[in-house]
Chain A
């Protein structure tokens, strides 16, 4: 088979063929020159320094290299030919077309496909882009090979009169859970659930992390009648397993379903081999044609591209509330047809559905694997089944007590354990019977149609006629659309109001079964489907006015979908009256929308009138809201309002509980008058500050003066610890130098400061420490004139010795440098000592005050 080879788009057209180097029949190799061509181009020549340049036409002759290996069959070009654009230039019989590749190696010739060179325009790995085998992703094939393989498969299926059936595992044919309660029930014959779980299959996986793997068991419950179902279906269908579980999980379950591998063989595909974490695709297994493939799955949203081929099965829920253990990878399911069933998927966190798809995929995967592990752990720890059973038992006991009280004589019955404890796990599923019927019918339809077509084409009895193969998806649509044909259905209370009914899961399903979906109740509507737990009012009332409209519950729809027939509506008729109708003023609130009607259910007649103002109160202030809520806590119907409260929580602070202190509580007792006075004082002192800037040197001396004072304090103390004695030495060293140069100005200001200090330390000693003051103190820290005052703060026993130490340290160093004896000790040492000094000072607060006064008088005398 020869393949036309193109010149390639990268050549500088137009080109002229100069010479053909190879002739037909020659063997050619990759990158070997096959012919020469020339092209013309313009070049700037001349002296570009003097800008004396001009364009000149150049002709270049280039070799054209072979992009492939093989045998040259024929040239489509001849010497001297001018070629304007990319076109096929030759026919080559390729040595190998690299149609099957394994991890970058051609599986036919063994060459490395990842090598890239300039001669070929496309990479060899792109020749085989399709991954179509079940258990590997690194084996890829070309489109042609895929088509051949698939034709082979179809031929075989047609000859044995079979179809392909892709089977989902979780909640379609089995349900798995990891709740250890099941294991205990399995071992305990007295448990009421023992009967139900008796045929639950058990296995452990070794693919997870070791600590997790040997801690839990998987419990697999087969859907009732599954074994017979699979056996009978296997005669008509070749079955594949397609699950979102891990590879090990899929194989273990397949082994449970099919111990001798007759049903599924090795046709098992799991999420490890699926290229997508969110959806399944038939093209992964049947890349060319899906005409002969049927899917059974409990979720239709995971098959975005293959809806026509899907038979949706109602999800199997044996272990109540467990759901699908492998669904943490999938988006949340939205197609629940049970109006008042257990809220499924409650274990799911919204975060996983909101996963940003732009994120690195591996990161997402990791996240989800962790998510799943958390789910598993939670299930093992929480044991939801046990809780359910306990609840049931408790209810029984309560009921028992009631009967005992009413009978008042039957002591014996109440003391003995209840003979028939109700059980959580009920095995009452009949889905597979109907499913088998549908599959059988479909198979019959397919081959009837095929035979008819083939008769038209007049193919031989044994020959397979691919032309005659009908699309099973079309047949399925046909069969389904007969079910509810002619019905006009209105939904009420089923979907949220902002959802487009024609795009919703249930809407699509209704339409696929041939019914017309209508948004409003009209004259020609035949059925109103209501959600029994929260019926919408408007449509319901509207429909009641028209006796020909049958008002049915969602279960009717579910039954129709399961049985594929318009079942009798009588058992599903929705007859219960709306609560406000019972009250007799349903019309009064009729103006409300259907969805809000559900919230009104069971409310007082004035409910709607009360609700809105209450909501306004909520936003007005947190405290008011609290009070309102306390009043209404008993009201179960306030769910929407509660939701509002939750939203508000982040915005408004919660009302304070008793005994809890607010950070601004101190302000209540705060003396604003004194604060103002202090502020004025502070502002007035700002004028002093300017002087201080000029007299910075003196300021430092001022610090020294303080040291001097404290030094004398220490002198008087006799019981000093060793470290403090050392610091004392330093201050003693410092003392004579510091004491030598006091200035008059400073003394005057010192007096001012001292008076201020007095007032402040008084206030602080009173213990009325407010944030406002603290703030002010922090500010004052920076102004040099207030340093004295700051000191006295420390003296009054505040726990901020470090800052003080720093300041003093700096002051000390500066001062000592000034006085020329700063080399006596190093800074680090001094730093610690400064801290110690601060503490020390605090101890001698009282004496210090007295001393200071004395010193002042001394200074005055000196002056």
Chain B
């Protein structure tokens, strides 16, 4: 689910950047550092704006200036039970991997409708119900997240396409 979230971060600036447009630089650096990263259990998708850039404090020893910046960002936190659209990455006999934006998702063959079968002889190998559904690399699918795990800077999810309106998205 997407949220607008108020966050705070300390940004350090090298002394060579000290000057008139320091606050702009701070903002640019913040955007560069933060956008598109995974912060614990959510992804920071985009920074809307920054406010409250504090006065810079020179860090003793290094000479870097530290600013505390408050900013507002669009974050995406995937939840258990959330339905996401994803693109199939790789397919193997146990299931397939898909990417929902930055989130890596695995859908095992147990969590597919019964009529979907693994077809290893096709080129490339695929999951198919021998009718309108073919799941191979690049297919757009819709899956429900049933499990989530986070580590520093990374998240993984288990998805299911066993349910109404889940599975292949018809183009």
Contact = CB atoms under 8 A, between A and B. Distances in A.
Contacts of A136: 90, 92, 97
B158 A102 contact: yes
Given A107-B106, A265-B123, A139 B94 contact: yes
A202 to B, nearest CB: 24
B56 to A, nearest CB: 33
Interface magnitude class on chain A: 20 to 34
A366 B91 CA distance: 30
Given A156-B120, A266-B125, A102 B156 contact: yes
B108 interface: yes
A112 B94 contact: no
Interface in B93-126: 93-95, 97, 104, 106, 108, 110-111, 120-121, 123-125
B146 A266 contact: no
B149 interface: yes
A46 interface: no
A133 B92 CA distance: 7
B22 to A, nearest CB: 30
A106 B94 contact: no
A149 B94 contact: yes
Contacts of B70: none
Contacts of B108: 100, 102, 107-108
Contact of A105 (B110, B137, B156): B156
A605 interface: no
B110 A104 contact: no
A108 B147 CA distance: 9
Contacts of A110: 80, 145-148, 158, 160
Interface string A146-185: 0001001100100010000000000000000000000000
A102 B146 CA distance: 13
Given A152-B93, A156-B121, A266-B124, A103 B111 contact: no
Interface string A85-111: 000000000000000101111111111
Nearest to A160: B121
A100 B110 contact: yes
A107 B95 contact: yes
B125 A109 contact: no
B149 A112 contact: yes
Contacts of A149: 93-94
A135 interface: yes
A426 B137 CA distance: 40
A333 interface: no
Given A104-B149, A110-B147, A134-B92, A139 B121 contact: no
B93 A103 contact: no
A152 B156 CA distance: 28
A776 interface: no
B98 to A, nearest CB: 12
A261 interface: yes
A102 B96 CA distance: 11
Contacts of B120: 153, 156, 265
B157 interface: yes
A240 B166 CA distance: 33
A568 interface: no
A357 to B, nearest CB: 28
A132 to B, nearest CB: 9
Interface residues of B, number: 28
A426 to B, nearest CB: 35
Interface string A254-266: 0000001110011
A543 B55 CA distance: 93
A476 interface: no
B109 to A, nearest CB: 8
A133 B94 contact: yes
A800 interface: no
Nearest to B155: A103
Contacts of A104: 149, 156
A134 B124 CA distance: 14
A532 interface: no
Interface string A264-275: 011000000000
Contact of B149 (A105, A109, A133, A152): A105
Contact of A265 (B94, B97, B125, B148): B125
A112 B146 CA distance: 11
Nearest to B109: A100
Contacts of A100: 94-95, 108, 110
B158 A106 contact: yes
Nearest to B105: A102
A335 B168 CA distance: 52
A107 B149 contact: no
A127 B104 CA distance: 22
Interface string A631-674: 00000000000000000000000000000000000000000000
A812 interface: no
Contacts of A160: 121
Given A103-B156, A265-B123, A133 B93 contact: yes
Contacts of A2: none
A510 B160 CA distance: 55
Contacts of B160: 110
Nearest to B154: A103
A683 to B, nearest CB: 55
B88 to A, nearest CB: 12
Contacts of B97: 136
Contacts of A107: 94-95, 106, 108, 110-111, 158
Contacts of B149: 103-105, 112, 114
Contacts of A108: 108, 110-111
Contacts of B80: 110
Contact of B123 (A109, A141, A260): A260
B96 to A, nearest CB: 10
Nearest to B158: A110
A104 B93 CA distance: 19
A105 B157 contact: yes
Nearest to A145: B94
Contacts of B137: 266
Contacts of B156: 102-105
A344 B73 CA distance: 58
Contact of B146 (A109, A133, A141): A109
B70 to A, nearest CB: 33
Interface in A733-764: none
B147 A111 contact: yes
B26 to A, nearest CB: 27
A108 B111 CA distance: 7
Interface of B: 80, 90-95, 97, 104, 106, 108, 110-111, 120-121, 123-125, 137, 145-149, 156-158, 160
Among all A-B residue pairs, the 7 with the closest Cβ atoms? A110-B147, A110-B146, A107-B108, A102-B106, A103-B156, A110-B158, A133-B92
20 contacts: A100-B94, A103-B156, A105-B148, A107-B94, A107-B95, A107-B110, A108-B111, A110-B146, A110-B160, A111-B147, A114-B149, A133-B93, A136-B92, A139-B94, A139-B106, A145-B94, A149-B93, A153-B93, A156-B121, A265-B123
Interface of A: 100, 102-112, 114, 133-136, 139, 141, 145, 149, 152-153, 156, 160, 260-262, 265-266
Given A105-B147, A135-B90, A153-B120, 16 more contacts: A102-B158, A103-B149, A104-B156, A105-B157, A107-B110, A107-B111, A108-B111, A110-B80, A111-B147, A114-B149, A135-B92, A145-B94, A160-B121, A261-B124, A265-B120, A266-B90
